[in-house]
Amino acid sequence: MTKEIKVKALKEGSVLDHIPPKKSMEVLKILNLLKVAKENTIIPAINLPSKKLGKKDIIKIENVFLTAKDLEVLWFIAPGASVSIIKNGEVVKKIPIRCPEKIVSILECPNEDCITNHGPQETKFTMYKDKNCLCEFCERIFPLEELKIKYNSQ
């Protein structure tokens, strides 16, 4: 017998939907949601059935309204995700996840000699439509697949 699990609906907050299955923990980490949400409830749901993806993850965050800026980094791990802003139990806004034009600090430069790998300098990449990224410090261009996400341990 299958039993449907109902996840509590939000009255106020943000819902991140269509996250690739098992990626929700990474999303929590990259958006720093545990910090952003402070004392508010966060409900991650992992491996829910999805028509589009087969399986998917969802994250609901109570009383936190994410902005397009917050979500830029999400493009790297969940490019097909969607975000709904809920107010008074209704979806008032949907924020599309777009490829950011510039991405600061979350990516590592693959060039070992780059200044960003030798000190506190934050990385800064310009993203091109052809999925190549320019490091603004060593001025080298890398395909997106070569860039790794850097997680803050704090």
- Binding region for Zn ion (CB under 5 A): 109, 111, 114, 135, 137-138
Smaller CB distance to Zn ion: residue 71 or 135?
A: 135
**Minimum distance of Zn ion from residue 117's CB (angstroms):** 7
Residue type for 6, please? K
**Minimum distance of Zn ion from residue 120's CB (angstroms):** 15
Q: List own/partner pairs for 30-35 with CB under 8 A and 24 or more apart.
A: 30/73, 30/74, 30/76, 30/77, 30/106, 30/149, 30/151, 31/66, 31/70, 31/71, 31/73, 31/74, 32/152, 33/59, 33/61, 33/64
Smaller CB distance to Zn ion: residue 78 or 107?
A: 107
**Minimum distance of Zn ion from residue 105's CB (angstroms):** 13
**Minimum distance of Zn ion from residue 114's CB (angstroms):** 3
Smaller CB distance to Zn ion: residue 78 or 109?
A: 109
User: If you compute the radius of gyration of the chain from its CA atoms, what whole number of angstroms results?
Assistant: 17
Smaller CB distance to Zn ion: residue 7 or 104?
A: 104
| C-alpha to C-alpha distance for 58 and 20, rounded to whole angstroms | 9
| C-alpha to C-alpha distance for 8 and 3, rounded to whole angstroms | 15
